[in-house]
Amino acid sequence: MNAKPSLPLSDRYDVAVIGLGPVGATLANLLALHGLSVLVLEREPDIYRLPRAIQFDGECMRVFQTIGIADLLLPDLVVAPGMKFVDADGRLLLDWQRSTEVGPQGWHASYRFHQPTLETELRARLAEQPCVDVRLRHEVFALEPGDDDVGLRLEDMSGGRLLSTRARYVVGCDGARSTVRRFMGTELDDLRSHERWLVVDIILRKERADLGDHAVQYCDPARPATYVRGPGARRRWEFMLMPGEDASVMSRPEMIWQLLSRWVTPEDADLERPAVYTFHSVVAKGWRNGRLLIAGDAAHQTPPFMGQGMAAGIRDASNLAWKLAEVISGRAADDLLDTYETERSPHVREFIETAVRLGAVIQTQDPEEARRRDLEMRANPQVFTTPQPRLGPGVHEGGGAAGMVGEQPTLSAGIRLDSLAGYQFALLVDPTWEIAEAPSAVKVLAADSSAARDWLQRLGAGAVLLRPDRYVAALAFERQDITHLLGMATGFASQLATT
């Protein structure tokens, strides 16, 4: 890790990232791909070594591919086949299947992972970036926005030294109790789902194939519970705490083994971590205030019933990093950054609202209400599919696929599209279309494989412009439309940023 406590801070950075969890580390890595000078401040001395987030999706894997760590993560990942919702007697209520084949994103739809492993790889990649200055055990206590930059006052907690520096922009990736959000004066929109759950992580001592690979939501009004397979020997159970139950009592080993007795005993496994969380559902009402921005849990929090908590923050980072690079380089007006919230907020809200609805199914505690729910759901078997929201208004135009996440075909060289494109705009074009020389800000790629041609055919287009975050910016249906697409990718007028 390239922490530099012995070196003085620079007088000014392009971006200061507050918080070095998965979202902050992803954002810093993406900014480094554009050569921006980045200061990362983290109050903790090291990675938290116990499990927390446990799932991310194929879209996140594309971001990790762009950063250069996807192949390093693969040996420690498990492909997630989906989730089943069952009643108190184990009868199926809802089936949420995910394909275990490689999908349109070029990766599997869902992965289970160990968060410390992901953070280790993200930090190792940061250590290779000379433009990134990581400071562990440094805490920000004041932000002073000015016309051209933001003053930061901070404490080196290893020795109590007070320091100061400046950054053109500051991004708070500092969690649910975000300091940056407080300085912004941003309030939270409460979606009214706040329940206490006991999360228990164990490590199996021997193979237990009978536990299965599917996650299971036990919709039992007496005690709603969740089972999730983690990578390797790791398994997780989550138990809803009932009103009046003492979290400290329920976290005792004897109580935990009593809750787990239906599945495992102390002879089967070792307890790795119990923790009580309140699963919140909130979205910030203002993700930007001038030169201050927020991402990840600082901007939104979701119940875990869709496995989208961390994934939403990774999407934030991927959406925001290229826009900061465009503005700082002078290629885009500052109001491009306003599209960060207009695009991401409705997108993440759809996931959170869906998770809240699923949570209402799972967390029903009234036996009669649960009986009616079970009868209705068994009479009308449901198969759930993961939502695919469109971005809100922003840097995309033309309807159809615009604003949707694009596909990642493998091209004729046997290389995935993103690996050829890098973290920049990419134009995937029919090989029969001749185009003038493209500017360096756009990577032009011929649709020279069957997968690429099939995607263009399904789009009904001859070319598709993909943004650096791999969302579709626009389509070209005629050759003359190419000029407009290249213009979108090489410079942004103010009016485009609010389209």
Q: Which residue has the tokens 């942004």?
A: 492
Cβ neighbours of residue 36 closer than 8 Å, sequence gap 6 or more: 14, 15, 131, 324, 325, 328
Checking if the pLDDT of 262 tops 90, the result is yes
DSSP reduced 3-state for 2: coil
Q: Which residues contact 23 (CB under 8 A, 6 or more apart)?
A: 173, 295, 296, 297, 310, 313, 314, 316, 317
- Do the beta carbons of residue 219 and residue 93 sit within 8 Å? yes
Residue with tokens 């001592």: 205
- pLDDT band at residue 99 under the 50/70/90 scheme: confident
Q: Measuring CA to CA, which residue among 25, 84, 71 is closest to residue 316?
A: 25
Contact 143, 70 (CB under 8 A): no
| Residue 104 to residue 75: CA distance in whole angstroms | 21
pLDDT at 382 over 80: no
Residue with tokens 């490590």: 203
Q: What percent of the chain has a predicted confidence (pLDDT) above 90?
A: 82
Amino acid at 380: N
Average pLDDT value for residue range 490-494 = 58
Residues 55-87 as b or e (16 or more Cβ within 10 Å = b): bbbbbbbbbbbbbebbeebeebbbbbbbbbbbb
Task: For residue 128, give every residue at least 6 positions away whose Cβ sits within 8 Å of its Cβ, in sequence order, or none.
Answer: none
Amino acid at 83: M
Q: Which domains does the chain have, with CATH numbers?
A: 12-75+113-189+283-355 (3.50.50.60), 417-498 (3.40.30.120)
For residue range 385-397, list pLDDT tens digits in order.
788 999 999 999 9
pLDDT band at 244 (very low <50, low <70, confident <90, very high): very high
Asked whether residue 200 carries a pLDDT value surpassing 50, the answer given is yes
pLDDT, position 499: 39
Write the DSSP string, 346-411: HHHHHHHHHHHHHHHHHT---HHHHHHHHHHHHHS-EE-----PPP-SSS--SSTTTTSBPP--B-
pLDDT digits (tens, 9 = 90+) for 431-488: 999 887 788 889 999 999 999 999 999 999 999 999 999 999 999 999 999 999 998 8
Residue 346 has pLDDT above 60, yes or no: yes
Do 241 and 198 touch, CB atoms closer than 8 A?
yes
* 194/451: higher pLDDT: 451
- Name the pLDDT band for 56 (thresholds 50, 70, 90): very high
What is the mean pLDDT of the segment spanning 371-389? 83
Q: pLDDT tens-digit profile of 457-471?
A: 999 999 999 999 999
Which segments of 173-320 are extended strands (E)? 188-190, 195-204, 215-218, 225-229, 234-240, 269-279, 282-284, 288-289, 292-294, 300-301
Q: Given a cut of 50, is residue 493 above it in pLDDT?
A: no
Query: What average pLDDT does the structure give for the chain?
Result: 93
> What is the structure's pLDDT at 495?
36
498 — pLDDT class (breaks 50, 70, 90):
very low
Residue 496 has pLDDT above 50, yes or no: no
pLDDT at 438: 81
Of 264, 331, 333, 314, the closest CA to residue 113 belongs to 314
**pLDDT 10s digits, 269-317:** 999 999 999 888 999 999 999 999 999 999 999 998 888 999 999 999 9
pLDDT in tens, 73-89: 999 999 999 899 999 99
Give me the pLDDT at residue 97, please: 84
The pLDDT value recorded for residue 264 is: 97
Q: CB of 21 within 8 A of CB of 175? A: yes
Highest-confidence segment of 36-50, 190-204, 368-382: 36-50
Tell me what the mean pLDDT of segment 196-206 comes to: 96
Residue 122 pLDDT: 98
- Side-chain-side CA neighbours of residue 155 (13 Å): 9
Query: Above 60 in pLDDT, residue 492?
Result: no
